[in-house]
Amino acid sequence: MMSEERIEEVELATDPSVVRRDRLLGAIFAEDPESCLLQHGPVASHVVTTSAPPQILLLPTRDRDAMDRLPKLLAQIVGASQQAPVPTHVVAVGGGTEVVNALRRASTSDAAARKLGFHYVDDASRYAHVSGPKLALLEHAAEKIRGTEPPTHERIHEALVKGRDLARRDQRALAQLRGRTPATFGLIAACAVVGALAVMWEGRMGGYSPAILSIGATSKLFVSDGEVWRLFASTFLHASKSHFAMNMFALWTLGVMLEPILGWRRFLVLYGLSGLGGALATTFLGKGWSIGASGAIWGLMTAGLAVVLFPRGVLPPLLITRLKQNAWRPLALNVLISFLPSVDYVAHFGGGIVGFVVTALFLVRGLKPVEERVDAGDVEPSPRPLLSAFAVIAGGAMLASVAAGVVYGGPWTMEVPPAMTRKALPDLGLSVEVPALLAKFPGTEKRGKTPLFTYGGLDATPVYIEILAVDLERALLPEEVDVFMEDARSQADTGAPNDEAVRLGKARIETVGARKAMFVERELKIDREPYVLREAIVVVGTREVNVRGYARKGKRPVGWKDLEEKVVASIEER
């Protein structure tokens, strides 16, 4: 903001506003001994401190300045604040009402209102807050103006030396933090590739949700069955384009800051462990199935907080104080977002805890101070083979998990009939075979007094199965079953379950296994998405059993075409 001048003794002016400004500066030094100067002269003093994030500009002012010089200077300050991440406090020392009005006019822009605090000290050394954020350091120092002497030439020289040294360290560190980020780019590319595969394959796998469930979503049921590869694979999948875009923007934003600080190896270990922590948390503590890089991203976010709170000399003091100002804000915002519907807060907190602990205890140790580095790869004083091994393991585990998801859950797995498992229907004295995948999502509800058994999920699996059984007055004779099936076929051809359902072709009677069954297909919309309902009715003992299979229109996998026939043929009395 202010040009850096050669350090030299400054001839203090005898102007009352300058003297009063210097008395305030002396009070700030007394209140905060860590305060130092980037610039000091008759026009302005630029105060920074390593103990508090804000920077302070002390401007000696007079009434005549309010018409021209002061508005121009304030416009420069407001413009520069739009590029600065640090809150700035402007203090006009001296003058009357016109000076205060100039401060108020400068504070009207949105940028000034968010980042700039405007303050005023009148000719009687009385302090007033004009607008914008307040600063307790200024308020406390202003109370001591009358009883404080201006700082000596030696104290000002010392503050300038210290401040400009901090500024140089800060600039060198910032230059190094603009280094390359190969791990961040690689992770974003991997998420994009896996997401693109899911989009390409959704038509062959029953829809986008069934595709991501098959190739990587995690849940306790899947992992308990030995599919541990899902723990990492799930972190590369996203529920929607907006979910992907939001997570990748966060990954990029955090990655370009953290990867240059930690180096690509530590960053990769951090991402992998955070993602694993989030996946483990949601798998064993959450409900249902989960996907997304949010757990890993939360680990990066809390790792940034750990770097700021436990820097261990890696970052220069002035940069740390600047980062502290904003370190908690994204975390607080994301805590609130985590409790929104459909957001997996368990994965968020699991990944966040792991990221903070691993960074605070291990990843910040052994790093070379950023301002002392020569290039992007110069992050450690000496090679660390063990760290390289961990990075290779983390990267290899993530890559292998994604590959396992593609191999074990790709569209070719849907081109063969699904593996079936037998499930009992409680209170009905029946059992039935359903796909093992659907059996992981069982449900039971009552429709009146009639139990309804469900397997799978409309938003998760290629086909969603409902089984409903209605008691008959007695067991039917073979010839009565034929009449019953004809009546059912006739009703299916003339009726529909609701006004929006459209019958697809004529109902038909087929022999499935040892029984006759009536089949009919209808198209209907569920949550505005078209589905095809394949319904079968069969008589088993003293019950009419209704089997319904719902699949997205045009997206039923090849191997699942005759699923309802297989379910009907498998019904047994227990």
**Catalytic residue, candidates 17, 35, 274, 294:** 294
Q: Write the DSSP symbol of residue 499.
A: T
Contact in structure between 536 and 564 (CB atoms under 8 Å): yes
DSSP string of 350-376, one letter each residue = HHHHHHHHHIIIIITTTPPPGGG-SST
- Determine contact, residues 81/353, Cβ cutoff 8 Å: no
Is-catalytic flag, 294?
A: yes
327, 331, 334, 335: CA torsion to nearest 10: -160
Distance CA 559, CA 280 (A): 32
Under 8 Å between Cβ of 448 and 471: no
Say how many C-beta atoms besides its own lie within 10 A of residue 2's C-beta: 16
Radius of gyration from C-alpha coordinates of the chain:
35
Catalytic residue among 348, 382, 431, 570: 348
CA–CA separation, 294 vs 344, rounded Å? 8
Q: How many alpha carbons lie under 13 Å from residue 206 in its C-beta half-sphere?
A: 30
Sign, CA torsion 162/164/167/172: negative
Q: How far is CA 342 from the centre of its chain?
A: 13
3-class state of residue 293 by DSSP: coil
The strand pairing partners of 468, in sequence order, are 452, 546
Helix 294-309 and helix 317-338: axis angle, to 10°?
A: 150
Q: Amino acid letter at 28?
A: I
- Structure tokens, 482: 């034929």
Three-state DSSP string of 320-350: HHHHHHHHHHHHHHHHHHHCCCCCCHHHHHH
Is 342 in the active site? no
Residues belonging to the active site: 294, 348
